[in-house]
Amino acid sequence: MYGPLSFDTRYQNAHLTWQDKYPASRFPVLAFTGAPAVFPVEKENVELQQYFQYNDEWVQGAKDWIKENLPKGPFIGIHLRNGIDWSKACEHINSNNHLFSSPQCLGYRNEAGYLSKDLCFPSEQTIIKLIKKAVKKVSAVAVYVASDNDHMINTLRSQLTNMGVEVKKGEDDQPHLDLAILAQSNFFIGNCVSSFTAFVKRLRDVDRLPSGFWAFPAGVQKQRTGKQEL
């Protein structure tokens, strides 16, 4: 897509090649349809997130939405990845040490664990249990849900109403707004395997804001031998 250029931090002179082809004097701004690097994000490139900035439109838009739609007080932001495409993708967990952005919680060498079905496609019980725990942790008065498919609004409301917690979702087809709002939540819970979650997690790490993942850490982890041990 960007040929003949790409970006790899392991190649120390990569920035010189870019500067030679696109000098700032002629190209003060470069607009891309995606990141000029490999997917998923490599360990060496994670730190580049600190240089990302939303423009004022999205920053203010997120703040305005929160002010107009959520009760005043701490809120939890969650990301649910549960479409049919995701369900099929999660069928490959048994044949891989990693899938998409799973290194963000498992580590690039699986030093923090291995893939599991609940990690990739968490059950309703897992989701509700972790949300309730997070609500108590930060004394949240609301939960903001971002999803590509099922926001589980009715289910979550039935489970959280007695805790005095409101459940809201953003505008349809506004993923950038979802990202900006999730980044401002008091606690974020996302899907370890999802690159959408990974973007939010990296943003929050830069600002040292707390985050978590569904079904992580797991009580049972697959060892390299393929056996199951506690």
- Domain boundaries defined on the chain: 14-38, 56-229
Contact in structure between 30 and 22 (CB atoms under 8 Å): yes
So what's the architecture of 56-229 in CATH?
Answer: 3-Layer(aba) Sandwich (3.40)
pLDDT (0 to 100) of residue 8: 67
Query: Environment class of residue 118 by beta-carbon count within 10 Å: exposed (0-12), middle (13-18) or buried (19+)?
Result: middle
pTM of the model: 0.84
Pairing assessment for the beta strands 187-190 and 166-169 based on DSSP bridges: unpaired
pLDDT (0 to 100) of residue 149: 94
pLDDT (0 to 100) of residue 137: 96
- Phi, psi torsion values for 213, nearest 5 degrees: -130, 150
pLDDT (0 to 100) of residue 2: 60
Q: Which residues of the chain have pLDDT under 50?
A: 219-230
